[in-house]
Amino acid sequence: MPSTKAVDLAAHPLTAWQGPLGLPDFARIGDGDFSPVFDAALKAHEAEIEAISGNAETPTIENTLAALELAGEALDRVSSIFWCRAGAHTNEAIQALEREISPKMSRHFSAISMNERLFARIDDLYQRRKSLKLDAETLRVLEKTWKSFVRSGAKLDADGKKRLATINEELSSLGTNFGQNVLADERDWALFLDEADLAGLPDFLKSAMAEAAEMRGQKGRYAITLSRSIYEPFTTFSERRDLRETAYRAFTMRGQNGGATDNTEVVRDMLRLRAEKAKLLGYASFAALKLDDTMAKTPKAVHTLLDPVWEKALEKAASDQTQLQRLAAEAGSNEKFAAWDWRFYQEKLRAEKFAFDEAELKPYLQLDRVIDACFDVATRLFGITFEEKKGITAWHPDARVFVVKNADGSERGLFLADYFARPSKRSGAWMSALKSGYKLGDGASPVIYNIMNFAKPPASEAALLSVDEAKTLFHEFGHALHGMLTDVTWPSVSGTSVSRDFVELPSQLYEHWLTVPAVLEKHALHVDTGKPMPKALLDKMLATRTFGAGFATVEFTASALVDMAYHARSDAPEQPLRFEAETLEKLDMPDTIAMRHRTPHFGHVFSGDGYSAGYYSYMWSEVLDADAFAAFEETGDPFDPALAERLRKNIYAAGGSRDPEELYTAFRGKMPSPEAMMVKRGLV
């Protein structure tokens, strides 16, 4: 039975953060605490909204816009902890709560966005905006708030509002189900092997597989799991073609295995509801709705970027496949070249062309050293430093806590990081915030976190990363810096609160510093000898930066094009998986490469709608990041102080306080063309 005891939001550990460093006191938070606190926080927020909307005074920025931005602090706090737990350390109780809370939150925010009295006050300010003499950031927040209300149904009639609220609630529940189904498939599948099955596998992978097997109660054996940190190196190095095929099929069929965790109908229903939502709001398609507030603006603009890249990627992949088939034939394979052969023979081709393999690099990419490299680059570019605080309880014992300080020693905020894969964590890597940084009202310091899924080694061994994993760590830390360096007044434009196709710029740009020779020379130290990576190996690594570009670009761009195909039509396909296959066929997708994210496990697009009609944005931002790093290369100094300050001020600190094109132009002086990105990828 749920507790009927009244919740004191001013004292509860979920909403009154009284742990060390001003963090939540995670040791005092139980799974059973969330539901009653959510209920109390929702009621408190409703009361605040009622006070704003019912205010008899003439609307002002202070009594309406600022009051709205600062309302719901208790709800923000319990939500941030809950969604952190739901992604990073879930269980059956949390998942049941997720299914309960998702539609409840959707109903709550639908009611706010459709509150006629509240919108009337926002609309009053909006209509008078030119006479209010607002600073640029406040004007932008007012305009974005007004538009958000309109896009959320504020101008619909009563029936339209009711239907839209229902659609949003159903989409919220379906997104939760989608994510939980994928997690279940990833958690429940493992293939246990013995020593005789490990031909070709390097020691780092054997250690990770042994640890994964022990976590699943099979000590002394080795497990292939569906974590990318095990799946990808296994299909790269394993000489057992039959096992590579088994792993490939399991990985690509996540969410499409029939039974309770199958996502086929979930996707169908989500696409149908999204198309209906767009039509209700007056848009030609869901893509048109989603792109309305982005840099791209239209599906046509997205295709103007993606289509030429796709053609170049297909050409490169076809050329590469010819070479891979030659290697397979030389190795005595009589089998038709298949998707589970690509990574394996691509690694052989790398060794042939450059006389080294990925496994040579691993001993030089220790997790702790790569973390140090992330911090060191941030210090050299932006003057901030990081100090780890041991013994602080977070959501899981693996989570680490760092105090972030400005150059003058003052405290800037907190950074938390949780690096290792486990069955209770959804796959992938991401950044989020327990608390955003802003100056409005009493202000707040940012509390930012990164989640990774690296294979955890035995306690006696150092965690070693692949180059791709090291890039992922730099990527997510770039997002974290966007949150930590924020210097804005208004919460709604803080940190990563920018358009979807601009948000990946700070993260993808930061990846470039991983391969700056001065960074690798300092931090890429051998796990056993402590010696720096030899120059010959470093040169080989840098020479292979565009190796495999055809494969990588095809698997990514296929996902972006299928996402756009689903959402740029006015209706929804009755059979999404057939539509996926037909779309790929029209694109001449090679059957030897899979989409990076097939529909049934495409969490970016279907676990909520964060990247729906938006997966292209990684490549859109890549056009910007290639051009932005070229600015540093042009100076001859990857840490050029004047350029670093412009980067901090206009990209990392500005959040969504100004238009993204204006911000980028203030940093670089002009907008880029896609050419630098294609060169960076090795496609031209």
pLDDT digit string, tens, across residues 423-455: 999 999 999 999 999 999 999 999 999 999 999
What is the Cα–Cα distance from 314 to 589, expressed in whole angstroms? 8
Cross-strand bridge partners of residue 411: 405
> How many percent of the chain have pLDDT more than 70?
99
Same-domain status, 36 and 136: yes
pLDDT of residue 4: 52
Contacts of 4 (CB under 8 A, 6+ apart): none
pLDDT digit string, tens, across residues 254-273: 999 999 999 999 999 999 99
In terms of Cβ atoms closer than 10 Å to its own Cβ (0-12, 13-18, 19+), residue 459 is exposed
Tokens of 193: 């092997």
Amino acid at 10: A
What is the Cα–Cα distance from 189 to 212, expressed in whole angstroms? 12
Residue among 102, 99, 109, 97 nearest 165 (CA): 109
Same-domain status, 126 and 222: no
Q: In Å, how far from its chain's centre is CA 529?
A: 35
In a domain, 631, yes or no: no
Q: What is the C-alpha radius of gyration for the chain, rounded to an integer number of angstroms?
A: 25
Same-domain status, 31 and 149: yes
How long is the chain? 684
Q: Are 347 and 358 in contact (CB under 8 A)?
A: yes
Amino acid at 666: A
What is the Cα–Cα distance from 360 to 128, expressed in whole angstroms? 64
pLDDT of residue 2: 43
Provide the phi-psi class of 419: left if phi over 0, else alpha when psi is between -120 and 50, else beta: alpha
What is the Cα–Cα distance from 520 to 373, expressed in whole angstroms? 8
Same-domain status, 122 and 36: yes
In a domain, 593, yes or no: no
Same-domain status, 97 and 193: no
Same-domain status, 150 and 207: no
In a domain, 345, yes or no: no
Q: Are 241 and 200 in contact (CB under 8 A)?
A: no
In the residue annotation, 476 being an active-site residue is answered as yes
SS3 532: strand
Residue 213: how many other CB atoms lie within 10 Å: 21
What is the Cα–Cα distance from 549 to 45, expressed in whole angstroms? 49
Contacts of 300 (CB under 8 A, 6+ apart): none
| Domain region containing 74 | 20-155
pLDDT of residue 150: 97
Confidence tier at 1 by pLDDT (50, 70, 90): very low
Counting Cα atoms < 13 Å in the Cβ hemisphere of 495 gives 25
CATH of the domain at 143: 1.20.1050.40
Q: E-strand spans in 207-316?
A: 222-224
DSSP state for residue 220 in the 8-state scheme: T
In a domain, 89, yes or no: yes
Q: Are 521 and 490 in contact (CB under 8 A)?
A: no
pLDDT digit string, tens, across residues 225-234: 999 999 999 9
pLDDT digit string, tens, across residues 54-77: 999 999 999 999 999 999 999 999
In a domain, 58, yes or no: yes
pLDDT digit string, tens, across residues 536-574: 999 988 889 899 999 999 999 999 999 999 999 999 999
Contacts of 620 (CB under 8 A, 6+ apart): 295, 296, 302, 305, 501, 504
Same-domain status, 45 and 115: yes
Same-domain status, 25 and 131: yes
Q: Are 173 and 102 in contact (CB under 8 A)?
A: yes
Same-domain status, 149 and 101: yes
In a domain, 221, yes or no: yes
3-state secondary structure labels for all residues of 329-398: HHCCCCCCCCHHHHHHHHHHHHHHHHCCCHHHHHHHCEHHHHHHHHHHHHHHHHCCEEEEECCCCCCCCC
In a domain, 520, yes or no: no
pLDDT digit string, tens, across residues 172-226: 999 999 999 999 999 999 999 999 999 999 999 999 999 999 999 999 999 999 9
In terms of Cβ atoms closer than 10 Å to its own Cβ (0-12, 13-18, 19+), residue 260 is exposed
In a domain, 93, yes or no: yes
Provide the phi-psi class of 319: left if phi over 0, else alpha when psi is between -120 and 50, else beta: alpha
Counting Cα atoms < 13 Å in the Cβ hemisphere of 143 gives 15
Q: Are 560 and 615 in contact (CB under 8 A)?
A: yes
Residue among 445, 456, 474, 481 nearest 397 (CA): 456
What is the Cα–Cα distance from 27 to 596, expressed in whole angstroms? 38
Q: Are 379 and 1 in contact (CB under 8 A)?
A: no
Q: Domain end: 204, 236, 253, which one?
A: 253
Q: Domain end: 227, 253, 279, which one?
A: 253
Tokens of 471: 């890039």
Catalytic residue among 476, 504, 555, 622: 476
Same-domain status, 146 and 201: no
Contacts of 71 (CB under 8 A, 6+ apart): 45, 48, 49, 52
Counting Cα atoms < 13 Å in the Cβ hemisphere of 407 gives 7
Residue among 269, 473, 498 nearest 378 (CA): 473
Mean residue pLDDT across the chain: 96
In terms of Cβ atoms closer than 10 Å to its own Cβ (0-12, 13-18, 19+), residue 407 is exposed
Average pLDDT rounded to a whole number, residues 589-604: 98
Residue 634: how many other CB atoms lie within 10 Å: 10
What is the Cα–Cα distance from 501 to 622, expressed in whole angstroms? 9
- Total number of domains constituting the chain: 2
Same-domain status, 129 and 76: yes
Q: Domain end: 253, 286, 308, which one?
A: 253
Same-domain status, 39 and 131: yes
pLDDT digit string, tens, across residues 124-180: 999 999 999 999 999 999 999 999 999 999 999 999 999 999 999 999 999 999 999
